[in-house]
Amino acid sequence: MLAIIGYLFFENNKASMKSAMKFEMMYQARMLFSEIVLEAMMNVPHGVKVQEREMFLEKLKHCRFKVGYYDEDGKAIYTEIKDPIQFDKNFYIENNQCFTVTENKTVHLGIQYIVLKESDLSGKIQELRLRIIGYLMLSFLLMGIVGYFLGKLFLKPVREQIESLDRFISDTTHELNTPISAILMTTQSFKDKDDKKIKRLEASAKRLSVMYSSLTYRLEGKVEPAEVLCFSGIVEERVGYVRELIDSKRLNITLDLEPMEVLMARSSAHRLIDNLLSNAIKYSDVGDSIVISTKAHVLTVRDTGIGIDEAVQEDIFKRYSRANEERGGFGLGLNIVLSICKQYRIKIDLESVKGEGSTFRLTFPKRKKEK
């Protein structure tokens, strides 16, 4: 808004300066014509010689503009102007210089046109432009400073609430770790008992553990050193970790794993696989199938679950976004997958048809020594 106001102010003042210059120059030209008419009338009986006329015209100049006197054919009688003159215009600007051409219908001393030239207008306009730009920049700076402090003042309660909420979530997830660990340890002690209730309890505990890991990974944001990992082995390990979840839904899982090494942090590899696998389990129905393969630096996780509607496929990687509200979750899993992929330059592709299932394909960058 300030920029628009400044521009309009500049254009208005620029037009006013041009108009004022035009009228001043035309007024000065008329005054010169009056002097010429008076001189011609005083010398009517004996006339004015050419030499005397030039001397008269040279002395006649009393304005701040350069002056040129021309006859009816546009030929210079006496002039200080070296530029070519456009006699068909009474006022024009050329090369940042103003010209007025004043014509007198009655010729005196052989003069029909008086041309005035002014060269200071462009400098004044430039000065005006710089002044307005300076005022605008000062206004923007003052507004920015005031806005910064006002924003800081008004957002302080919001920031405090967000920090308080973050601390609450962090403390809550930390407190969850103890009962989850206790449940898992308890269920491990009943391994010899083939009890459906025990398996259901262990599956629920494993699911809580995966959710806890995702929350803490997002909240803590720790940077761990990368290492060379046998990715296919980690896939097999994480599938074994959630075997109870897979069995509880009677899913058919197939592993087609070829040896594959990647360079990344172990916790990131765990979160990557856990979230892709958890997503496949969550959105599969009883009796569906999941196929996981590692081949030629590509991890593929394919399921025959409910699939993802094409209209929401672009949004599922956003934080807190869920493809299906009925299946639960926090909407963090795929966002974590995307952030890990960006961190390690992993290309991620999704193919999904609603009602037929989804395929996530992750292409890992080749390590330098393998090129």
What does the pLDDT read at residue 369? 59
The torsion angle over the Cα atoms of residues 155, 158, 162 and 164, rounded to 10 degrees, is 110
Give me the phi and psi of 112, to 5 degrees please: -115, -30
300 is written with which tokens?
């593929």
What does the pLDDT read at residue 159? 77
Q: How confident is the model at residue 363 (pLDDT cuts 50, 70, 90)?
A: very high
Fold type of domain 2-119: Beta-Lactamase (3.30.450)
CA–CA separation, 147 and 125 (whole Å): 32
Asked if the model's pLDDT at residue 194 lies above 60, the reply is: no
Instruction: Choose the weakest-confidence range: 64-73, 114-123, 202-211, 215-224.
Output: 215-224
296 versus 48: which is more confidently predicted? 296
Can you spell out the DSSP letters for 148-214? Answer: HHHHHHHHHHHHHHHHHHHHHHHHHHHHHHHHHHHHHHHHHHTTT---HHHHHHHHHHHHHHHHHHH
CB-CB neighbours of 345 under 10 Å: 9
Domains of the chain, residue spans: 2-119, 224-370
Output the pTM of the full model.
0.49
Mean pLDDT, rounded, for 304-321: 80
What does the pLDDT read at residue 155? 80
Asked if the model's pLDDT at residue 364 lies above 90, the reply is: yes
Could you tell me which residues are beta bridge partners of residue 351? Answer: 359
Average pLDDT, the chain: 80
Asked if the model's pLDDT at residue 13 lies above 60, the reply is: yes
Decide whether 2-119 matches 224-370 in CATH topology.
no
224-370 has which CATH code? 3.30.565.10
The 10s digit of each residue's pLDDT in 53-106 is 777 777 776 678 888 888 888 888 888 888 888 888 888 888 878 888 888 878
What b-and-e string marks burial along 46-75, b requiring 16 or more CB atoms within 10 Å of the CB?
A: eebeeeebeebbeebbebebbbbbbeeeee
